[in-house]
Amino acid sequence: MPAEYYYVTKQTDQTNFHLLHRRGCIKLPPPNSLVFIGSLYNSLQALTVAKVRFGENVKTCYFCCLSHPQKKQR
21 binds Zn ion (CB under 5 A): yes
CA-CA-CA-CA torsion sign (5, 10, 24, 63):
positive
In whole angstroms, what is the distance from residue 65 CA to residue 56 CA? 17
Among 25, 29, 45, 51, binds Zn ion (CB under 5 A): 25
* CB-nearer residue toward Zn ion: 18 or 21: 21
* CB-nearer residue toward Zn ion: 23 or 53: 23
Closest C-alpha among 37, 45, 39 to residue 18: 37
Stretch of 9-17, 32-40, 41-49, 63-71 lying at the interface with Zn ion (CB under 5 A): 63-71
